[in-house]
Structure 1
């Protein structure tokens, strides 16, 4: 078992398990585990394959046919990655793309998808993409709804179906996560973080943070860095 911390959330990957860590997330290991644990890390550049991060990024533990297929695909992918000389470069890269796509597709079916209609799923994907682009400057669900051509209620229904939270809760959670990243992994002041995240006044940011985290930004930084 290998313990991880991804964006301030602790999780453990059991033998045979998988964990998706997205670009931009802060990923840490528990050092003691690294002396006894073996595994494979598969890393690719954005755009190498068309695959979006799963909405639920908790560890996966394939069983039965899924486990056997994932192991087989990983072995094949590892072999092709190392066998650079036997194919022209374009064919080699295409082989890797196909095998990685197969691996990701297989893993995407280990956990049943949330019950939702296709239109709602597409609505949430559009909202999530717009939020990721604009959360530093736009903090109101109504703004996203207007830009995307939906009503706020439609965005909330789609977000509830995909994540179990409302559209506003999903937006606030993304702002809070970025605030935590900046507080812990940079030396920016609380006022700097407030400006970066689009708050009009540092006091507004402090109220937002304390309401959702239960402590001030600087108190959170001290605890997260082990200074108190």
Structure 2
């Protein structure tokens, strides 16, 4: 991480970032913090942070904190099967890396650190050949499977495989269509279940009804735009499908607990920018 932060001027990383690729950060030394979608994440050796494409993340400069940072595009990931069900999934990382931040057990940390070291050694000898690219793809695949082993052992017994799969499908559908519709019935039909089954799956998986999940996704997108862009509130209101900025401001305040411009000033990256 220190090498990455040293490549450009500090002002670049002092502002929020919204990359179109994955950042998988395995912290190896020191203690500090990282911002991921406006959450302040405590980091130390053994913390694994996964910033997905489209998420807003921000480094905190001046910390005594080190990490191995793996950057890769969604297209570089092998398609795979669900670890729990054996069914085809959209991508390996969506199916198994279900959390953005986790503290690795000692056994998982050792295995993942070993694969990370192998990737680092391969990178130092890499060329532009197909063989080199294939080596990286297989090493990345091994890394993700190591992470899967950590999550599989941590699965809560109260969440059945069926409810978990339904909730994962729902979240992917919301990510794809939240700007077009907030209809629970639409999403239930899209993922092949009844609205009642979807409500039950959401309640079991996250303790909230589907409507709340959709609304929070809208709020999250608005927060990302407020923090990472210089767009006006009027321009941001159009992105999630609000016809009137006043309706957007009321919605944001009701579900986010603060006015949009106040959020922009409150988030530390906005002041740095």
State TM-score, norm by structure 1.
0.87
Change (3 A) 1:105 1:226: same
Name 2:71's counterpart in structure 1. Answer: 43
Give the direction of change, closer, same or farther, for the CA distance of 1:47–1:114 in structure 2 (3 Å limit): farther
Q: In structure 1, what is the Cα distance between the partners aligned to 2:210 and 2:147?
A: 27
1:156 Cα deviation after fit = 2.1
Note the residue ranges of structure 1 that are not aligned, 5 or more in a row.
none
Find the aligned partners of 2:247 and 2:194 in 1 and give their Cα distance.
Answer: 27
**2:159 paired with 1:130:** no
Aligned to 1:219: 262
- Out of 79, 91, 96, the residue aligned to residue 131 of structure 2 is 91
1:80 alignment partner in structure 2: 122
Please list every run of 5 or more consecutive structure 2 residues that lacks an aligned counterpart in the other structure.
1-30, 80-91
CA distance in 1, matches of 2:243, 2:156: 37
2:191 and 2:177 map into 1 onto residues whose CA distance is: 13
Q: Which residue of 1 aligns with 2:42?
A: 12
Q: Does 1:64 align with 2:83?
A: no
Q: Which has the larger displacement, 182-191 or 157-166?
A: 157-166
Cα RMSD, aligned residues only? 2.1
Q: Does residue 1:29 correspond to 2:70, yes or no?
A: no
Counterparts in 2 of 1:83 and 1:164: CA distance versus 1, 3 Å: farther
Distance 1:131 1:157 in 2: 17
CA distance in 1, matches of 2:126, 2:259: 52
* Residue 75 to residue 178, structure 1, CA distance change in 2 (3 Å): same
Aligned counterpart in structure 1 of residue 205 of structure 2, from 162, 180, 184: 162
**Distance (whole Å) between structure 2 residues aligned to residue 203 and residue 142 of structure 1:** 27
State the partner residue of 1:55.
98
1 or 2 for the larger relative contact order (CA 8 Å, sep ≥6)? Answer: 2
Residue 108 of structure 1 corresponds to 148
Q: Give the structure with the larger strand fraction.
A: 2
C-alpha separation in 1, matches of 2:116 and 2:264? 39
Superposition deviation, residue 157 in structure 1: 2.1
**Contact kept in structure 2, 1:156 and 1:166, CA below 8 Å:** yes
1:2 matched residue in structure 2: 32
Report how many residues are paired: 222
Shift, 1:226, TM fit: 4.3
Report the more deviating stretch, 116-125 or 11-20. 116-125
* Maintained 8 Å contact 2:93/2:144: no
Q: Under a length normalisation based on structure 2, what TM-score does the superposition of the two structures give? A: 0.74
Distance 1:161 1:48 in 2: 33
